[in-house]
Amino acid sequence: MSGSIQDIFAVASVLLRYPDSYLLESLDELGSMIDSLPEVHRGAFSKFIIYLKSNDAESLQENYVQTFDFEEKNCLYLTHSSYGARPERGVELLKINSQYKSAGLLLDAPELPDYLPVFLEYLSIAPESQSKNLVKEYIDSISKIKENLERSGSLYSIVLSACISAMNEMMGTRWNRFGFH
């Protein structure tokens, strides 16, 4: 996978995490990484970083919780909309985690493997041949979250738009609700 596509996933993985002090202290470093991206992504991510720098931590954290924790349609756990709390979800999580391990991503944090920032971290390190199947499987969920965020006017939608654009580039095609074309 080209470095710039993997860099897009790496940046998005960080930007979609809870805006704690670690994230907010790393914005300048992220800005340097963004400078090497293609213009279309550089502009979107720069706009989002300006948003993060323009707000205090408490407001950002409150917005994050309101956006992702209180709005089920914006849930960042990719298997949640398909499986909910059913046992089949556990099987799917094990399958995802197995793919992560084969790419060298070992989860030691309390996050589940279907958490979108973790999924994007995987895409940032995995070989394209290994990651395409998971992209095919979850791009619809990511697109739905992006559309919900756009409807609510959330700037998080621009981060997801960049991810979907990078996924389209990686797949060599264009995604819509009916699949890749």
CATH assignment of the domain containing 35? 1.10.3480
pLDDT of residue 129: 86
Q: Give me the mean pLDDT over the 14-21 stretch.
A: 96
pLDDT of residue 176: 53
pLDDT of residue 180: 46
pLDDT of residue 3: 52
Number of domains making up the chain: 1
106/100 Cα distance (integer angstroms): 7
Q: How far is CA 41 from the centre of its chain?
A: 14
- pLDDT per position as a tens digit, 47-60: 999 999 999 999 99
Helices (DSSP H) in the chain: which residue ranges?
Answer: 3-15, 21-25, 27-34, 39-53, 57-64, 80-83, 87-102, 116-125, 128-152, 156-171
Tokens at residue 170, please? 């990686």
Least confident of 7-16, 22-31, 96-105, 142-151: 96-105
| Res. 1: pLDDT tops 70 | no
- pLDDT per position as a tens digit, 155-178: 999 999 999 999 998 888 665 554
| Res. 181: pLDDT tops 50 | no
145/60 Cα distance (integer angstroms): 19
- pLDDT per position as a tens digit, 65-94: 999 999 889 999 999 888 877 888 989 999
Q: Supply the DSSP symbol for 115.
A: B
pLDDT of residue 50: 95
* Range of the structural domain that residue 70 is part of: 3-180
% of the chain beyond a pLDDT of 90: 63
76/73 Cα distance (integer angstroms): 9
| Res. 120: pLDDT tops 60 | yes
